[in-house]
Every structure is written in C-alpha cells, then in structure tokens.
C-alpha cells in the first residue's frame, strides 16, 4: 500500500474510532484517544489511557505522568516525543479512560467485555498498518501478542508474533506508570535498558529502509 493510501485508510479509521461510544463512558466526559501517525509501520500498544488523556481537547495517549517517564526512556535512545508520535502509531488495548481502580490506587483495569469490544479497533489497525514492529507496553498489552510469562522472561528480548495484520517483531516494554514497581529492581532496570537498546536498533533500521524507499 502506498503512503498516501495508508494515510487515507488511517484517516477514515480514526474518524470512526473517534466517534465510538460503545462502552457508554462519554457521560463522564471520556472520549477515545487517537494517534496522529499515518505513514507508519510501527505500532505501540498501551493498556488504556489515563484520565488526563481522554478528555475532549487532549485525546493523546501517554500525555500524563506515565508518558513523561516513557518518553524519557525513549530519549535515551535518541528518539524525541514529537518524532515518536509522528512515526509510531500509538494504540491501546482499550481507548477510553476506564475510571479509577476500586482500591483508589491507579486506574481500573478494563473489563474483559471492554477489551473484546475495543479489540476490534486494534485488529483493524493491525490489518491496515501491517506493522513490522510492535511495542506492547505493560502486561495487558504484552499478553495480546506473547504467551503469558513473568516480565523478566519477556523484557529485553526481541520476539516474533502472528496477528490480524500478519507477522511482526515484538519488543515489549514494562508499564511506565508509577503504579508498577517492576522497573525499580536493578536487575529489571538492566532488562529495560536492554529492551531500549534493541528498540533503538530496530527503529533506526525501519526508518532507514523507509527513507531509502522514498528516495529511490
């Protein structure tokens, strides 16, 4: 598919996704997050947006504190936030803020039925983008693509996965939210560093290849 055809398809997809109200969360002022990336072969998949991310006027994934942490990680491999948002399609397991966790700590994990309903948007994006690289962030997103396993057996490695859009390399990242203390252990920090190094190499190769195709 040409870059302009891909952009047109994603424009139409995002117009439909932006109008989705299937879960009835709009009464709380919640609307789906959207990604501006169009000519892309890389997708990042988060869990679900936080409160600051899904009000009208924002609608950007990772716009809150967890996002600041994640973009600090990416800066470490030389990728700034603006470039990442333009060149990587940011999706999520569910696209609307699910509300607070009943315990008062962090956000509620989207229910199985919300995940199933919203999963159709993700499947459509995989089919349109046919990504070469997937970056699932956090356990819920990682388990959409990789077999269930402790994070220390998954982070810091390149995996492969089949999905609705074909076959991709997969580099999982832990969730950057402060609600997860996994990254604080020195051994886990080293696994995160390794994952970021791998991500830097993969992104550079994909973006080099796409620049070469454009100039050919």
CB of residue 36 to ligand SF4, shortest distance in Å: 17
28 touches ligand SF4 by CB under 6 A: no
Between residues 41 and 95, which has the closer beta carbon with respect to ligand SF4?
95
96 touches ligand SF4 by CB under 6 A: yes
Neighbours of 191 (CB within 10 A): 20
Residue 146 · residue 155 · CB < 8 Å: no
Q: Alpha helices of the chain — where are they, by DSSP H?
A: 3-18, 65-75, 81-87, 112-129, 139-145, 186-215
20 touches ligand SF4 by CB under 6 A: yes
| 130: its two tokens | 């046919």
Q: In the sheet where 89-92 sits, what is the strand order?
A: 89-92, 42-46, 133-136, 166-170, 159-163
| 36: its two tokens | 């501006």
The one among 38, 59, 95, 175 contacting ligand SF4 by CB under 6 A: 95
47 touches ligand SF4 by CB under 6 A: no
111 touches ligand SF4 by CB under 6 A: no
**Helices 112-129/3-18 angle, 10° precision:** 160
CB of residue 1 to ligand SF4, shortest distance in Å: 24
CB of residue 21 to ligand SF4, shortest distance in Å: 5
Q: Compute CA distances 212 → 8, 15, 199, whole Å.
A: 22, 31, 20
What are the DSSP calls for 85-112, one per residue?
Answer: HHHSEEEESS-S---B-TTSSSBPPPPH
The one among 43, 118, 146, 199 contacting ligand SF4 by CB under 6 A: 118
Between residues 21 and 167, which has the closer beta carbon with respect to ligand SF4?
21
107 touches ligand SF4 by CB under 6 A: no
DSSP state of 156: T
Place of tokens 């315990």: 103
CB of residue 124 to ligand SF4, shortest distance in Å: 12
The one among 9, 76, 117, 130 contacting ligand SF4 by CB under 6 A: 117
| CA dist., res. 171 & res. 202, Å (int) | 9
Binding part of the chain for ligand SF4, among 113-121, 165-173, 179-187, 191-199 by CB under 6 A, reads 113-121
The one among 114, 142, 176, 191 contacting ligand SF4 by CB under 6 A: 114
37 touches ligand SF4 by CB under 6 A: no
Binding stretches for ligand SF4 (CB under 6 A): 20-23, 25, 32, 94-96, 114, 117-118
């Amino acid at each position: 598919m040409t870059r302009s055809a891909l952009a047109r398809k994603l424009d139409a997809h995002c117009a439909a996704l932006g109008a989705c109200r299937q879960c009835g969360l709009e009464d709380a002022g919640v609307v789906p997050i959207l990604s501006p990336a169009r000519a892309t072969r890389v997708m990042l998949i988060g869990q679900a947006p936080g409160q600051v991310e899904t009000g009208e006027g924002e609608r950007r994934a990772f716009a809150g504190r967890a996002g600041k942490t994640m973009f600090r990680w990416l800066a470490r491999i030389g990728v700034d936030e603006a470039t990442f948002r333009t060149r990587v399609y940011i999706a999520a397991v569910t696209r609307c803020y699910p509300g607070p966790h009943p315990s008062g700590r962090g956000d509620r994990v989207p229910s199985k039925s919300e995940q199933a309903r919203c999963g159709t948007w993700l499947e459509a994006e995989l089919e349109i983008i046919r990504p070469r690289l997937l970056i699932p962030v956090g356990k819920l997103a990682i388990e959409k693509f990789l077999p269930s396993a402790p994070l220390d057996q998954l982070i810091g490695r390149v995996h492969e996965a089949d999905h609705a859009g074909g076959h991709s390399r997969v580099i999982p990242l832990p969730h950057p939210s402060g609600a997860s203390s996994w990254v604080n252990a020195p051994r886990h920090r080293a696994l995160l560093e390794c994952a970021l190094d791998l991500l830097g190499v993969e992104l550079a190769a994909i973006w080099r290849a796409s620049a070469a195709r454009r100039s050919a």
